[in-house]
Structure 1
Amino acid sequence: MRIAAEYSRIQRGALNRLAQRAWTRDSQRYFATSPRTLDRDALRVYSNLHPLSDRLSFVVEDAGDQQAVNLVLPELRADAIFAGIGTALRVAAGHARRQGLPLRVIGLRDVLPRDDKRIRALRTAVMAHTGLDSEDRLELVGREALLGLRVSPEDHWLLTHWTTAHAFGVARRLGTVTASTSIYLVQDYEPGFVAWSTDYALARATYHEGHILVVNSTPLADYLARAEKLTLDDDLVFRPQIDERPGRGENRSRTELTVFFYARPSKPRNLYAIGVAVLKAVADRVGDWPVPVRFVSAGESHADVVLGHGVVLSSRGKLTWDDYFSLIDQTDVVLSLQHSPHPSHPPLDAVSRGVFAVTNEFDGVRNGLSPLLVAAEPRIDELADAVVDALRSSFDQRVPTPGDGWLAALGAPLDTVLDALSIRVANHPGSGPRLEESTGA
Structure 2
Amino acid sequence: MQFREQIKRHAPRFAVEAFIKARARLSAPPLEDIKLHDYRISADPSADARLTLVIPSVASQRAFGGVTTGIDIFLSLGQRTGFDLRILADDFETDGDRDLIDRRARQFGLDPAGIALVPRSAQTPEVPVRRNDLFLSYNWWTTLNLNQLIEAQAALYGRPPLPLLYLIQEYEPAFYPFSSTHMLARLAFDSPWPAWGIFNSSELFTYFTAQKHRVDRSYVFEPRLSDSLRPFVTQRDDKKRQILIYGRPAIARNCFSLIEKGLVEWVKTDPAARDWAIISAGTPHDDIPLGNGQAIRSVGKLSMEDYARMLQTTAIGLSLMSSPHPSYPPLEMAHFGIRTITNSFANKDLSATHPNIVSLADVRPKAIAEALADACRAYEADPRGGWDRCIETPFLQPGPFHFVDQLAGDLKALLA
Range of TM-score over shorter length? 0.7 to 0.9
Structure number with higher strand proportion:
2
Q: 1:178-257 counterparts in 2 under 5 A?
A: 179-209=161-191, 210-230=194-214, 236-242=220-226, 243-247=229-233, 251-253=237-239, 257=241
> Which of the numbers 253, 260, 272 marks the counterpart of 1:276?
260
Q: Indicate how the Cα distance of structure 1 residues 365 and 429 shifts in structure 2: closer, same or farther if over 3 A, else same.
A: farther
Instruction: Report what 2:119 is aligned to.
Output: 142
- Give the drift of 1:184: 0.7
Q: Which residue of 2 aligns with 1:347?
A: 330
Q: CA deviation at 1:402?
A: 3.0
The answer to whether the Cα contact below 8 Å between 2:333 and 2:339 also exists between their aligned partners in 1 is yes
**Partner residue, 2:378:** 393
CA distance in 2 between counterparts of 1:150 and 1:195 reads 37
Task: Specify every segment of 5 or more residues in structure 2 that has no aligned partner in the other structure, as ranges.
Answer: 1-27
Counterpart mapping for 1:81-120 below 5 A: 81-113=63-95, 119=96
Residue aligning to 2:101: 126
**Native 8 Å contact 2:169 2:200 kept in 1:** yes
Quote how far apart the aligned CAs of 1:66 are: 4.5
Cα RMSD, aligned residues only: 2.8
Q: State how far apart, in whole Å, the 2-side matches of 1:276 and 1:59 are.
A: 49
User: TM-score, normalization: structure 2?
Assistant: 0.81
CA separation of 1:232 and 1:353: change in aligned 2, threshold 3 A: farther
The residue aligned with 2:15 is: none
> Which residue type is aligned with residue 62 of structure 1?
D
Q: 1:58 to 1:423 in 2, by over 3 A?
A: same
Partner letter of residue 120 of structure 2? R
Question: Which residue identity lines up with residue 135 of structure 1 in the other structure?
Answer: P
Partner of 1:70: 52
**Do the aligned residues in 2 keep the contact of 1:304 with 1:314 (CA within 8 Å)?**
yes
Deviation at 1:269, TM superposition (A): 0.6
Within 2, Cα distance between the matches of 1:149 and 1:234?
28
Are 1:384 and 2:369 counterparts? yes
TM-score (norm 1): 0.77
**1:151-170, aligned counterparts within 5 Å?**
151-170=129-148
Alpha-carbon deviations, 1:21-58, whole Å to 9, x = none?
xxxxxxxxxxxxxxxxxxxxxxxxxxx95333224x21
CA distance in 1, matches of 2:73, 2:82: 14
- Which deviations, in whole Å up to 9, do the C-alpha atoms of 1:86-119 show, x marking residues without a partner? 1111111111122211210101112443xxxxx4
How do 1:292-371 and structure 2 match up within 5 A?
292-366=275-349, 367-371=351-355
Change (3 A) 1:79 1:52: same
Structure 1 residues 245-283: Cα deviation after superposition (integer angstroms, max 9, x where no partner)? 234755425xx5111111101101111110001111221
Structure 1's 150 and 108: CA in aligned 2 closer, same or farther, altered over 3 A?
same
Alignment pair present for 1:425 and 2:415: no
Aligned to 2:5: none
Contact 2:205 2:220 in 1 (8 A): no
> Against the structure 1 CA distance between its residues 250 and 64, is the aligned structure 2 distance closer, same or farther, given a 3 Å change threshold?
closer
Query: Relative CO higher for 1 or 2, CA cutoff 8 Å, sep ≥ 6?
Result: 1
